Structure formats: structure tokens, C-alpha cells
Amino acid sequence: MRWRRREHNPAQASDAVMVTRLLDSAVTWMSRDPHTPYAHIIEHAGVSARDAERLIGDREELIHAAIVRGATRVGAAVFLDDGTPAEQIAMLAGRVWDDQAAVIPLTRLAVRGRHHEDVERALDPLRTTLLKAVTAGTAASSPSPLRADVSPATVSWLVEQAMWDVIESPSIEQATHDNVRILVMTHALCAAGLSWESAQEVAATCGARLHKTRRPHSPPSHT
């Protein structure tokens, strides 16, 4: 039996490389200035205007593609750490902040307008993982610190909204990275039903864990 050799298509390979460079350039420059001109983005990607239009489209389509790529990566990377459900929620919220801190202008665009629907789909794994932690916390046999007056799905939604509310807020721009992480975690935990004192205690413990494992940001290539 003879195996048929797979044909290599240099044009397709080249197109894939150019798309990646366009998306990376969009994230890098839009994270610095969300008003960066399209011509500047594609110039620094080393791609011609003709190829950019053929492969991606206009500026809005490039931004959309970069945002959805980032949301897909975030969704695919989530996991639950060891610990109580409250600690798992805090760690999840803290990791999202660590991931998004370098690309906040794009993150804010991602949760609004025309990008919202595709971003929601891409973040489904994040939502599913969060719900798992919340469900475990509300179903614990011992008295649980998580609120049980509404369904776990509702609690999970409240936690997610609380997390993004902090990340979207302009007030975080003057705060340190670690302080914002604590705020993201405590806001999420309070939405889950913890008192602010308990939320601070859990966030401090989880923040220390994340601080030890956090690596300095490389040039942003994601959202």
C-alpha cells in the first residue's frame, strides 16, 4: 500500500502567518491606544494593505478577530485550583485579571457592542468552570459561605458580572496590579455571598498564591 504524500500549500501557510502577525499587531497597538489607525497596525505587522483586506477585512473586522481569538484562548485555558469553592472562585477571578491586565482597552471593547455575542460563546468554558465551583459551594453538606437564596446559575452570573465590572472600571488605572487583583477577587466573592471581611481573607490567601506563580508580562499577544 502506498501512502499519498500530503501536498504542501505555501500560499496557505503564508496566509496563516500573515493573519497571526496582523492579530498580534492589533493586540499590541490597540492595547496601548484603542484609536491606533489601521494603517499603523498593518504596517507594523509587515503585511500589505491589499493582503490585510483580503485576509481580514477592515479595521473593525481585524479588532473583532483579535478579540474573539483572545476570548477563545481565555476560555480554553481555565481550570479550577485546589481549595474550597470560595478559593476556587477567587483563583479563577485572579487568573482572569492576570491574563487581561496587559490588554485592558481590548478587554473593555470585548464586552460591548458587536463583539459581545461571539465573545460570550468563546467564554462558555469559563462560565461552565465557574458554575462548577459555585454549585459545589452552594451544595456543601456543611454550612456554606456561598449564597443559596438563588440558583447556582444566578450566583455564577452575578460573580462573572462582578469580575468584569472591576476590570472595566476606569478607577483601576491608577492602582497596582496586585491591588486590582484583590479587588477583582473580593468583588466576585461578595457577589457569591461572602461578607467583605471573609472575601478579603480569602483574596489575601489566593492573591499570595497567584503572586508566587505570576510571570512578568511579555508583549501582549492576546485579549
Domain ranges of the chain: 11-57, 68-213
| 73-83: pLDDT as tens digits | 989 889 999 99
User: pTM of the prediction?
Assistant: 0.83
The stretch 59-63 carries a mean pLDDT of 93
Q: Which three cell numbers stand for residue 105?
A: 482597552
The whole-number pLDDT of residue 173 equals 82
Q: Where are the alpha helices (DSSP H) in the chain?
A: 10-32, 38-45, 49-55, 59-77, 85-100, 104-110, 116-122, 124-138, 152-168, 177-192, 196-213
Residues 150-185: pLDDT tens digits? 999 999 999 999 999 998 888 888 899 999 999 999
Work out the pLDDT band at 216, boundaries 50, 70, 90: low
